[in-house]
Structure 1
Amino acid sequence: MAMVDDQSKTCTVLGGRSFVGRSLVARLLKLGFWIVRVADSTQSLQLDPDDHDYDVPLDRALSTGRAFYFHVDVRNKKSVINAIEGSSVVFYVNDDSSCNHDFFSGYTIIVQGVKNVISACQECKVKRLIYNSTADVVLDNSHDIHNGNEMLLYATKFKNVYSELKAQAEATVLLANDMDGLLTCALRPSNVFGPRDEQLLPSLVDVAKSSWAKFIIGSDVNMCDYTYMENVAHALICAEAALVSRMVTVSGKAFFVTNLEPMSSWEFSLRMLEGLGYYRPMVKIPDVVVRLMVYLIKVMHLKTNSRHNSNSSVHNIVRLMSHTTTYDCSAAQHHLEYSPVVSLDEGITSTIESFSHLAKDSSVILDEFYEQSKIAQLLGGGDVAEILLWRDERKSFFCFCGVVSLFYWFFLCERTAVSSAAQLLLLVTVFLYGYSLMSTEMSSYSRFEVSEKGMRNFVTNIVSIWNGVSHVIKSLAQGRSWSFFLKVAVPLYFFKLFLVNYFPISLGLALAFSFILLFIYEQYEEEINGLIGILNELTRQYVVSEISLLLMNTSTRPSMSKDVR
């Protein structure tokens, strides 16, 4: 084992295998004058030999005595003491967002855990404690924040349990400043992202794969501050240096940390998703409407006492897109001498590269690009689809005018169908005869003949329709399926209601639907299908909640009757 330099300082990174902790450990080792104690909740250290940015340097440092690994449970003070004993600095960067929905476990890990860390630091004579908090401690999820600074108070109504507990833990750390020789400070990074992120980008990908991906949720002008994880690690090291050189202006205080490049929430999200091969939505939905839908889903889960929310990703993204949250980092720049070491563009690029496994398959994208639309497939993809979907605008326009003319001729001229047909045949006869007299290029009447192949196809189609109808009648006569009966009876009822009683109106609406609505549907097929998917999800959630409540009520009734007896 190599000898350690006498000038080396010892530090402990609590949460050293967390999202930010890995980056912090790598930067400390790169500086060269730190002995790093990596403390984490995992039982044993699992290194990736292909991770040249983080795990390879750590593996090398472990073999040379520049790094050590400790298994730590912050709920157990003795294990904390074992990890930090002999350290002059403790960086507390645990990623505790996994206990977002469980208040008890969250409190024991986040709040009670930080109390154990403070007490252990005081017993072990640790000089400095830097706590990695979050900017969400001042976010109440109902008001915008424009260039908020450290004068902002803690939120009165936090957006989730995690933010509330982080606020309690941060306040505990700051109150412990200058007690038993321990100096403390806290950092508040905003919307941290980067490689191995398990929160922000995976949530965006979940939304991109869902029905919500077809829409821009809320306003696309809301601005947010984002922070690349390398910059958070750099800010933590800057805070430690500032506690040494500028103790009075830094100790006991919290500092906002961002990339200093506010960006539109949707622009950031779409740049991420487009880098992974997802398409950019074009249709906007007001965030009020989306929040109402998500609230209904949340209420349905609460009614059934369900803690698992399958729409949590959507809920988080809606919150992110619905408000402007930008912060003033001048205090960190002035007192900590902090400035980003990785730009926002570089951070987005490296994050996209690290999440290539979440990228949309390029072959799928090409297939979708060249794939025939669903409505074209439904129409058979032939001449009818070409006309109704306006592939050839000139041809479709003449067909549309012809159909409208026929509709007017037969239904709006107040003539009987027989007289209308007779007059139409007379006009066609006069037109053809006159055309033949005026045009020497008029071909023979053979063009009006029906080919044998065409007649065979026509007869085959008639026979197929006849057999299909006879099969339906036979199935109805057997009376074995109510669902099949309803499938036949309901369309026939509407046929009788609309086409028989209101035949001209129904036919006119059918023509408009054929030439106009089908074309509109094809142009916005993804958006319409997405909206239908959202409505189906709301309906499914409602049905599931009602069935669960019914089962709960029926299960409690027998026990109640027994108690009465």
Structure 2
Amino acid sequence: MNSVLVIGGSGFLGSHVVEQLVNDGGYSVTVFDIRQLSESDDGYCSGVRYLQGSIVDSSSIEEAVKTSKPDAVLHTASPVHGLPEKIYYDVNVEGTRNVISACRAAGVKNLVYTSSTGAVWTGQDFHGVSEDRIGLPVKGYDAYHHTKAVGERLVLSAQQDGMNTVILRPCGMTGYRFFSRVEGQWATQDVRRPSERDKQLIWRMAEVHENKQHTVQIGDNTNLIDYAYAGNVAHAHVLACAKLLTQPNTVSGQSFFITNGEPMPPWDFSRMIWKELGDDGKGRITVIPRFLGLILAILAEIWCRITGSSTQFNRFSVRFITGTQWYNIDKARKLLGYKPTVTLGQAVERTVKWWKTTGAAQHALQKH
């Protein structure tokens, strides 16, 4: 049985990766995360060893790698969007450097690093680009994406020094999967133990719906954007791990775009979620041109600087929602054997079902 250490395994994507490794049955799994899960938490898996610590603390991660003695490390840890820049540099750069150092000290040769499609994005349109057609920019669009790219460079440097590495670049994620801790197997009909951890996309979408803001559209909605189901992305991590352990020469040093392979207009995707949340689609849609959206975003940013407040409505969000961003995943299909098995329609349906049964209550508690 191969031993795997999942860094960030208590997070949204990381916990999905852990569940699939456990479900596969061929791995002994250890989780290292700043938050330690208990049996009552969503995402907890029995039989998994949970270690608490921070990758920003080099001694902490070194001890975790040393004691878990993994055959492979899956580095999925990453801060969410909207945090101070220093956090991204601490976690995505220094933290990744600490992970690589800890692997070297313990003699671990195999490392899978979770990056982002945004690592290569600087605001321009991407129409089905492949990994060999676009490189890492010198300066990323913002701190999150820039530090993800820096992390990629550190991982590639480690590969050149003798490690076997794979870089996965998932796009924006949502999704749903139930996991029965009692039976220890997937239970897609068991709503008593929802283990969905999407506390970013669906929470924002639900707030927009509750505040009746979904009748405003920025841009003409003719652009295509990639989205992904978290379970599909997690499966790509399991495939990459297996390839490094069995056929490292076929994938080592490679980066892969990971999406659902279903690019769609962004407002179509949003309205698919809002429809599941209860929107009848009869409201009048106010369309704001892209250029006007950018002007309003600049004004919102200036206001936030003056008042010391924050906003999700900024130039990044406008450029993201009005730009074209979809990626060719043929390389992942060919070399990893990656095949998205859950469609975006299914993912949205399951995510909103979780929201209605559990997520909305959690959101209300956090707000108060």
How far is the alpha carbon of 1:292 from its aligned partner? Answer: 1.1
Q: How many residues align?
A: 335
Q: Secondary structure at the match of 2:214?
A: helix
Is residue 283 from structure 1 mapped to residue 277 from structure 2 by the alignment?
A: no
Residue 84 of structure 1: which of 65, 69, 72 is its match?
Answer: 65
Preserved CA contact (<8 Å) 2:260 2:343: yes
How far is the alpha carbon of 1:38 from its aligned partner? Answer: 1.1
Q: Secondary structure at the match of 2:326?
A: strand
Preserved CA contact (<8 Å) 2:113 2:166: yes
Q: Secondary structure at the match of 1:24?
A: helix
In structure 2, the partner of 1:18 is 11
**In structure 2, how many angstroms separate the alpha carbons of the residues matched to 1:120 and 1:157?**
27
Deviations 1:373-401 (A, max 9, x none): xxxxxxxxxxxxxxxxxxxxxxxxxxxxx
**In structure 1, how many angstroms separate the alpha carbons of the residues matched to 2:324 and 2:243?**
30
How far is the alpha carbon of 1:301 from its aligned partner? Answer: 1.9
How far is the alpha carbon of 1:198 from its aligned partner? Answer: 2.5
In the superposition, the TM-score normalised over structure 1's length comes to 0.56
Is residue 329 from structure 1 mapped to residue 329 from structure 2 by the alignment?
A: yes
In structure 2, the partner of 1:299 is 302
Sort the Cα spacing of 1:183 and 1:238 in 2 relative to 1 into closer, same or farther, 3 A. Answer: same
**In structure 2, how many angstroms separate the alpha carbons of the residues matched to 1:334 and 1:105?**
36
How far is the alpha carbon of 1:223 from its aligned partner? Answer: 0.8
**In structure 1, how many angstroms separate the alpha carbons of the residues matched to 2:80 and 2:211?**
23
Pick the structure with greater CA Rg: 1
How far is the alpha carbon of 1:253 from its aligned partner? Answer: 1.8
**In structure 1, how many angstroms separate the alpha carbons of the residues matched to 2:359 and 2:320?**
21
In structure 2, the partner of 1:471 is none
In structure 2, the partner of 1:422 is none
**Structure 2: which amino acid aligns with 1:11?**
V
Q: Secondary structure at the match of 2:31?
A: strand
Deviations 1:248-281 (A, max 9, x none): 3411121101111111111111001111123535
Sort the Cα spacing of 1:359 and 1:283 in 2 relative to 1 into closer, same or farther, 3 A. Answer: farther
**In structure 2, how many angstroms separate the alpha carbons of the residues matched to 1:165 and 1:147?**
24
Report the more deviating stretch, 216-225 or 116-125: 216-225
In structure 1, the partner of 2:254 is 253
How far is the alpha carbon of 1:247 from its aligned partner? Answer: 2.6
In structure 2, the partner of 1:188 is 169
Preserved CA contact (<8 Å) 1:277 1:359: no
Deviations 1:180-229 (A, max 9, x none): x4211110011111232222222223333446422222112211111111
Preserved CA contact (<8 Å) 1:223 1:326: yes
In structure 2, the partner of 1:174 is 156
Q: Secondary structure at the match of 2:55?
A: coil
Sort the Cα spacing of 1:359 and 1:34 in 2 relative to 1 into closer, same or farther, 3 A. Answer: closer
**In structure 2, how many angstroms separate the alpha carbons of the residues matched to 1:22 and 1:218?**
35
Q: Secondary structure at the match of 1:318?
A: helix
In the superposition, the TM-score normalised over structure 2's length comes to 0.85
**In structure 2, how many angstroms separate the alpha carbons of the residues matched to 1:205 and 1:254?**
33
Sort the Cα spacing of 1:24 and 1:313 in 2 relative to 1 into closer, same or farther, 3 A. Answer: farther
Higher relative contact order (CA 8 A, sep 6+): 2
Deviations 1:113-159 (A, max 9, x none): 00000000011111200001100011112x21000111212235533
Deviations 1:394-422 (A, max 9, x none): xxxxxxxxxxxxxxxxxxxxxxxxxxxxx
Preserved CA contact (<8 Å) 2:118 2:171: yes
Preserved CA contact (<8 Å) 1:193 1:201: yes
Deviations 1:9-51 (A, max 9, x none): 1110000110101111110111112110011102x423337x5
Preserved CA contact (<8 Å) 1:203 1:314: no
**In structure 2, how many angstroms separate the alpha carbons of the residues matched to 1:154 and 1:192?**
21
Preserved CA contact (<8 Å) 2:266 2:321: yes
Q: Secondary structure at the match of 1:91?
A: strand
Is residue 73 from structure 1 mapped to residue 76 from structure 2 by the alignment?
A: no
**In structure 1, how many angstroms separate the alpha carbons of the residues matched to 2:258 and 2:248?**
19
In structure 2, the partner of 1:232 is 233
**In structure 2, how many angstroms separate the alpha carbons of the residues matched to 1:190 and 1:149?**
14
Gaps of 5+ in 1: 1-7, 62-66, 361-565
**Structure 1: which amino acid aligns with 2:117?**
A
Preserved CA contact (<8 Å) 2:79 2:87: no
**Structure 2: which amino acid aligns with 1:47?**
E
Sort the Cα spacing of 1:230 and 1:137 in 2 relative to 1 into closer, same or farther, 3 A. Answer: same
Identity of aligned residues (%): 30
**In structure 2, how many angstroms separate the alpha carbons of the residues matched to 1:159 and 1:208?**
28
Q: Secondary structure at the match of 1:12?
A: strand
Q: Secondary structure at the match of 2:155?
A: helix
Q: Secondary structure at the match of 2:113?
A: strand
In structure 2, the partner of 1:265 is 266
Q: Secondary structure at the match of 2:287?
A: strand
**Structure 2: which amino acid aligns with 1:162?**
Y
**In structure 1, how many angstroms separate the alpha carbons of the residues matched to 2:323 and 2:296?**
18
In structure 1, the partner of 2:129 is 148
